[in-house]
Amino acid sequence: MVDIAAGSRHADNLDHPLAPFLYTVSLLHCLPVGRVDGGAGLGMMWGRERALDLLRQAGFTQVEVQTMSHDPFNDHYLCRKGSNRP
Inform me whether the pLDDT recorded for 86 exceeds 90: no
26 domain residue, yes or no: yes
pLDDT digits (tens, 9 = 90+) for 27-63: 999 999 999 999 988 888 999 999 999 999 999 999 9
Range of the domain at 43: 2-80
User: Percentage of the chain surpassing pLDDT 90?
Assistant: 83
How many C-beta atoms surround the C-beta of residue 74 within 10 A? 15
Does the residue 85 lie in any domain?
no
Q: How many domains does the chain have?
A: 1
| Residue 37 located in a structural domain | yes
Flag whether 86 is in a domain: no
